[in-house]
Amino acid sequence: MRSLDRRLIAALLLTAVSAAGIAQDDLLPLDPVTGLKMSGDWQLVRSNCIACHSPKLITQQRGSADQWLRMIRWMQDKQNLWQFEPEVEERIVAYLAENYPPPTNRRRAAIPPDLMPPNPYATN
Ligand code: HEC
C-alpha cells in the first residue's frame, strides 16, 4: 500500500474514533497486573502508588493535576506516604491528570430548532 494511502486511512480512522466519542486513550493497553493505562510514566505510578492499596483506588479515581496533587498531599499528611523528588512527583501527577482526567460532559449538543419535528401542540 502506498504510504499516502496508509496515512489517509490512519487519519480517517482517527476521525472515526473521535467522532464516535471514544477517547483515543481508551484504546491504550492496560497493565495486566495493575490495570493502569500503559502510557508515558505509568511505571512510576506502578512502583510508587500500589504498596498500600489496590491500584483500583487509582484507576477508578479522576482528577485534574491539582486534584491529584492534593490527594498525594493528603496521603503524605495522613497516611504516611513518603515524599517524592519534585521531578518524580511532577511526572506522576502529569501521568494521572492525563490518563485519569475529570469526566467530560458526555451529553450530546442540543438539536437546533430548525431540525426539530413540528410541534403538535403549537397554537399558530
Ligand atoms: C504509604 C501508603 C500509600 C501509598 C504509597 C499511596 N497511598 Fe493512596 N492512599 C493511602 C491510604 C491509606 C488511602 C485511604 C484508603 C482507604 O480509604 O481505604 C489512600 C487513598 C488513595 C486514593 C483514594 C482517595 C479518595 O479520595 O478516595 C487515591 C486516588 C490514592 N490513594 C492514590 C494514590 C496514588 C496516585 C499514589 C502514588 C502517588 C498513592 N495513592 C500511594 C495510602 C497510600
pLDDT score for 52? 97
Query: How far is ligand 1, taken at its centre, from the CA of residue 80, in Å?
Result: 10
> What is the rounded CA–CA span in Å between residue 110 and residue 24?
24
pLDDT score for 27? 84
Identity of the amino acid at 9: I
pLDDT score for 122? 87
68 grid coordinates? 491529584
H-helix segments, the chain: 3-19, 42-49, 56-59, 65-78, 86-99
Q: What is the mean pLDDT of each run of 10 residues along the chain (124 residues)?
A: 66 54 70 97 98 97 97 98 98 98 86 90 83
Query: How far is ligand 1, taken at its centre, from the CA of residue 24, in Å?
Result: 27
CA 68 to ligand 1: nearest atom: 35
Residues enclosing ligand 1, CB less than 6 A? 48-49, 51-53, 57-58, 61, 71-72, 75, 79-81, 92, 96
CA 80 to ligand 1: nearest atom: 1
